[in-house]
């Protein structure tokens, strides 16, 4: 059994992207599961509209994962944030790494307005908080490449009848990135985010259904 964990290449002139640093740190990790073995497969995605989804599709075909967790940086956030919903909108504030800057276009022409994550986002947030790590459900993955990828993932799961569950998590800056921003930008250490991902992943594997618990949504 494989879990696909994706991270993005750096973008917006920053030399690193913590989403890839976290994913690659977990490549080959084997979370404990009830039956058989489970292995995390990390794949780096281009921060490019269209190409990110195409590379994800290749990785899904290669690894046949039962769980897909895509990661992205949300600079300025204070917590690890499982995303609740992907919307059918591309609206780029800045050009992507190929110079593409779609404005108010659909991710998927004719597709539904939105898809919900099929990860147990509340259970993941609860597990992270119980471990002492800041976490919250987010209700917007933005309208840039992260939301685009998230929508593309959920659309393919729905369209192709893939029996995997999937979703997206945004993570904060690393301290060295925050240090390059205006004073006051929040951050979390790579060690903490990696630990958070192991906890989130364990929770996702343990909970086929999400927990119906209130609170914990801040974005
Ligand atoms: N964050 C961007 C794209 C790549 C990334 O890591 C986003 O939130 O859309």
Length of the chain: 219
Q: Are 13 and 33 in contact (CB under 8 A)?
A: no
* Cα Rg of the chain (Å, integer): 16
Pull the structure tokens for residue 47. 């921060």
Q: What is the pLDDT of residues 74-133, one digit of tens each?
A: 999 999 999 999 999 999 999 999 999 999 999 999 999 999 999 999 999 999 999 999
* 163 given a catalytic annotation: no
Which pLDDT value is given to residue 184? 83
Q: Are 49 and 102 in contact (CB under 8 A)?
A: yes
Q: What is the pLDDT of residues 129-177, one digit of tens each?
A: 999 999 999 999 999 999 999 999 999 999 998 889 999 999 999 999 9
Which pLDDT value is given to residue 133? 98
Which of 47, 95, 101 has most ligand 1 atoms within 8 Å of CB, for mutation?
A: 47
Q: Strand ranges (DSSP E) for the chain? A: 2-8, 39-45, 67-73, 81-82, 85-87, 114-116, 165-171
Q: Are 70 and 57 in contact (CB under 8 A)?
A: no
Instruction: State the DSSP string of 15-28.
Output: S--HHHHHHHHTTT
Backbone CA torsion sign across 10, 167, 171, 127: negative
Which pLDDT value is given to residue 163? 80
Please report the atom of ligand 1 found closest to the CA of residue 72.
6
Which pLDDT value is given to residue 215? 72
- Model pTM score: 0.97
Alpha helices in the chain (DSSP H): 18-25, 51-63, 121-130, 145-159, 175-178, 190-206
d(CA 27, CA 13): 26
Asked if the model's pLDDT at residue 217 lies above 70, the reply is no
Pocket of ligand 1 (CB under 6 A): 8, 11, 17, 19, 47, 72-74, 142, 144-146
């Amino acid at each position: 059994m494989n879990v696909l964990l994706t991270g993005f290449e750096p973008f917006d002139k920053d030399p690193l992207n913590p989403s890839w640093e976290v994913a690659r740190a977990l490549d080959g990790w084997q979370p404990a599961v009830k039956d058989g073995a489970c292995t995390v497969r990390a794949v780096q995605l281009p921060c490019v509209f269209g190409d990110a989804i195409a590379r994800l599709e290749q990785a899904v075909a290669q690894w046949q994962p039962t769980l897909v967790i895509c990661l992205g940086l949300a600079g300025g956030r204070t917590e690890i944030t499982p995303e609740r919903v992907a919307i059918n909108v591309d609206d780029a504030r800045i050009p992507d790494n190929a110079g593409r800057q779609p404005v108010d276009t659909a991710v998927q022409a004719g597709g539904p307005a939105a898809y919900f994550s099929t990860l147990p986002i509340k259970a993941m947030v609860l597990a992270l908080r119980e471990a002492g790590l800041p976490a919250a459900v987010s209700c917007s993955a933005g309208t840039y490449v992260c939301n685009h990828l998230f929508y593309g993932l959920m659309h393919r799961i729905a369209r192709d009848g893939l029996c995997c569950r999937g979703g997206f998590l945004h993570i904060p800056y690393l301290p060295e990135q925050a240090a390059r921003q205006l004073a006051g930008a929040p951050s979390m250490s790579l060690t903490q985010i990696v630990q958070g991902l192991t906890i989130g992943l364990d929770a996702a594997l343990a909970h086929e259904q999400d927990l119906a618990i209130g609170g914990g949504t801040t974005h």
